[in-house]
């Protein structure tokens, strides 16, 4: 398929419209496959690259998109014809970090839509080593394009919930229940937590409540002290613990991070999932005084993807209410609307190249 044409929507400059380009497939090296894209999710990280100027590792023009599902159509014979999810972080599998179980932060990692051309395209060339195979029976429940959200929106919060050491009966507080945050809240619930969701959107909070989250709070216009008192009240009503709170900051905003830090109490664990370029001023001594922990997370270990897929395949995690699809030709409109917070669900772009 070396001379076969394929198509990409490429970022050409900061805040400029994506441009449709036609290319021919590059040759595949040993250990690489060509995947026909079924769907590619629009992530806050993509917005950060395109709008906020967060540096990418590949020179422009660059095809963004790291939340990808599709079918292998060329490359290693054992993979051809298989439906797959491409991990958003592709590790080397051999370095010290990989050997220590930290492959998600492998310093030799490759990220689609950052280190090389990503998934806002008809096809993508990727290493095959850590592809996550999607068995056919799962496609009786979900279309393959919907499963793209597993590559980041679901796998990232799955990893951080595991890292937080959340236990059955703990209180989990999730700040920001949009594309990634709603899955964080649902996964914490699956793990047995009492979950309180905080957001500025009544629509997002209603969706969370309708899908089993214990309590919600719209924090618009409230100061930190008021929010903390209301969280304590909701925790009492849910018969949740007064200590050991697991706090997940997923809004990716300065105010969200400031609030999350101020919610720390005795034996808390604060997990930072959302990203912002803004700096936050906090008193780190609170970590000492409350004997608390502060942790970060980057993507998800590729080795955990089968566990995440199993939650979806087994019906424990229903993704249907939280995904909306658009033709990939609407990429410029979708990015603009995402930037303006017009969507309450995760947007997945589906190739519609002629």
57: Cα separation from own chain's centroid: 20
Tell me the domain boundaries of the chain. 5-152+300-350, 156-296
Quick one: pLDDT at residue 96? 97
Q: Does domain 5-152+300-350 have CATH number 3.90.180.10?
A: yes
Q: What span, in angstroms and rounded, lies between the C-alpha atoms of 87 and 110?
A: 10
CA distances from 227 to 220, 231, 243, 282, 293 (A): 10, 6, 17, 17, 21
10-residue averages of pLDDT along the chain (354 residues):
83 97 90 97 94 95 98 95 97 96 95 97 96 95 96 96 96 94 96 97 94 96 96 96 97 96 98 92 96 95 95 93 96 96 93 86
Question: How far is residue 166's CA from residue 245's CA, in Å, rounded to a whole number?
Answer: 9
Q: Is 201 helix (H, G, I), strand (E, B) or coil?
A: coil
Q: Which two tokens stand for residue 21?
A: 């380009």
Please report the pLDDT score of residue 4 as a whole number.
78
CB 301 within 8 A of CB 131: no
Fold of the 156-296 domain: Rossmann fold (3.40.50)
CA distance 108 to 58: 14
Convert the pLDDT of each residue in 285-329 to its tens digit. Answer: 999 999 999 999 999 999 999 999 999 999 999 999 999 999 999
Residues 6+ apart with CB under 8 A from 100: none
Q: DSSP assignment of 1-24, as one string?
A: -TT-EEEEEEB-STTSPPEEEEEE
For position 353, what pLDDT does the model report?
86
Tokens encoding 22: 């036609």
Answer for the pair 307, 165: CB distance below 8 angstroms, yes or no: no
- Beta-bridged to residue 289, according to DSSP, are none
DSSP string, 259-299: HHHHT--TT-EEEE-S--SS-----THHHHHTT-EEEE--S
Q: How many other C-beta atoms are found inside a 10 Å radius of the C-beta of residue 321?
A: 12
* The model scores a pTM over 0.75: yes
**148 in Cβ contact with 65 (< 8 Å):** no
- Sign of torsion, CA 283 177 85 59? negative
Instruction: Name the phi and psi angles at 204, rounded to 5.
Output: -65, -40
Taking the C-alpha atoms of residue 119 and residue 217, their distance in angstroms, rounded to an integer, is 35
Per DSSP, the chain holds a count of helices (H) and strands (E) of 10, 15
Tell me whether domains 5-152+300-350 and 156-296 share a fold. Answer: no
The pLDDT value given to residue 178: 87
At 308, list the tokens: 């995440």
């Amino acid at each position: 398929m070396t001379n076969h044409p394929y198509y990409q929507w490429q970022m050409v400059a900061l805040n400029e419209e994506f441009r449709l380009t036609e290319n021919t497939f590059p040759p595949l090296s040993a250990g690489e496959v060509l995947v026909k894209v079924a769907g590619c999710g629009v992530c806050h990280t993509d917005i950060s690259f395109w709008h906020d100027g967060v540096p990418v590792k590949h020179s422009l023009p660059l095809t963004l998109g790291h939340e990808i599902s599709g079918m292998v159509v060329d490359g290693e014979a054992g993979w051809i014809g298989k439906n797959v999810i491409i991990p958003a972080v592709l590790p080397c599998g051999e370095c010290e970090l990989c050997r220590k179980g930290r492959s998600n932060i492998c310093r030799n990692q490759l990220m689609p839509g950052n280190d090389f051309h990503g998934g806002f395209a008809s096809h993508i060339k990727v290493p095959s080593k850590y592809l996550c195979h999607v068995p056919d029976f799962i496609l009786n429940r979900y279309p393959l394009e919907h499963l793209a959200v597993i590559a980041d929106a679901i796998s990232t919060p799955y990893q951080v919930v595991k890292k937080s050491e959340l236990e059955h009966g703990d209180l989990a507080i999730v700040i920001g229940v949009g594309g990634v945050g709603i899955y964080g809240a649902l996964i914490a619930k699956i793990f047995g937590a009492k979950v309180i969701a905080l957001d500025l959107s009544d629509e997002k909070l209603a969706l969370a409540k309708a899908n089993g989250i214990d309590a919600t709070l719209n924090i618009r216009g409230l100061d930190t002290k008021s929010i903390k008192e209301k969280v304590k009240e909701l925790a009492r009503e849910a018969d949740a613990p007064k200590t050991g709170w697991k706090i997940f900051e997923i809004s990716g905003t300065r105010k969200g991070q400031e609030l999350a830090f101020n919610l720390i109490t005795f034996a808390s664990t604060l997990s930072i999932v959302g990203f912002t370029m803004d700096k936050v001023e906090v008193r780190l001594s609170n970590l000492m005084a409350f004997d608390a922990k502060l942790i970060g997370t980057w993507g998800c270990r590729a080795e955990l993807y089968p566990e995440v897929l199993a939650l979806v395949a087994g019906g424990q995690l229903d993704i249907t209410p939280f995904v909306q699809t658009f033709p990939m030709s609407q990429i410029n409109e979708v990015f603009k609307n995402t930037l303006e917070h017009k969507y309450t669900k995760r947007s997945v772009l589906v190739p519609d190249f002629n």
